Amino acid sequence: MASILRRRGLDPGKAPLTEDRPDSTDAYQREVYRQAWVNSLRVSGHNDYARFTLAKLHEDQFPDHVRTYVDKIVEVRQLNREQEKLPLDKRDIVRPTVQHLILHGSTGSKKTAAAAAAGAYAVERGLMARFVSHSKYLHWLRPDSAPAGLTHTQIVERYERCDVLVLDDLCQEMDEYATNHVRTLTSNLITARSSSGRGTIFTTNLNFDQVEEVLGERLASRIGGRALPLKLIGDDARKPQRW
């Protein structure tokens, strides 16, 4: 049981007792998903983003588009969850028309806040959502680098199999090209999610051509396929002091 809770991003020492569960099984499942979402923000160093919801987004963060995207993912995941109960040779996995939401724009344009609100809304709709930055995901796949003693396989499964993944800062801190190893790990993640009909939300400071230069034409095309790109425009919300 402790192992199952850890894989779901829960602290066994803080898990609620059986009698503390809500009467509704759906409500309890939603609480499990909420804890997993918040925990994914925490281990990624983005704990403060747990406060963002669609209601707190400004119009320039496209709350209506984000809501519509998540709603469509909910419809498809409900269909595919039933398909996943069938033998492999009998499954007919559905892929949503818009599977990838790409929030791009300059530094400080509140892309991550919008993505975090989308993840929180996905949880409200009954989906398992997780958050991780691209660079941190790659770092965790190095030997002995995963958090809380998780194995390489557990990290991969955690982010490949969640219903909605927020992959923050795509290609952050990378030069004009990525190593073959980085491309392979990134490709494996995105391909697994794409083929299973799961939704992925990307945030990035880069445009398509820049992502293509870093990750290569094939992987950039896979990210851009079935995608809705939304450009967030605005001054750096952090208002840094320049010197």
Over the stretch 119-145, which tens digit does the pLDDT of each residue have? 999 999 999 999 999 999 999 999 889
Dist. CA 229–CA 206, nearest whole Å: 12
Q: Is the pLDDT of residue 232 over 80?
A: yes
Give residue 30's pLDDT band: very low, low, confident or very high (50, 70, 90). confident
Do the strands 164-168 and 129-133 form a parallel or antiparallel pair, or are they unpaired?
Answer: parallel
With beta carbons less than 8 A apart as the criterion, state whether 177 and 186 touch. Answer: no
Calculate mean pLDDT across residues 41-56.
96
Residue 17, pLDDT score: 44
Sign of CA dihedral 94, 191, 129, 73: negative
Calculate mean pLDDT across residues 220-237.
88
Dist. CA 195–CA 205, nearest whole Å: 26
Dist. CA 99–CA 223, nearest whole Å: 9
Dist. CA 51–CA 120, nearest whole Å: 9
Please, what is the average pLDDT of the chain? 89
Find how far residue 77's CA is from the centre of its chain: 15
Report pTM: 0.85
Calculate mean pLDDT across residues 212-223.
94
Record the tokens describing residue 142, joined without a space: 């190095």
Q: Is the pLDDT of residue 16 over 60?
A: no
Residue 19, pLDDT score: 45
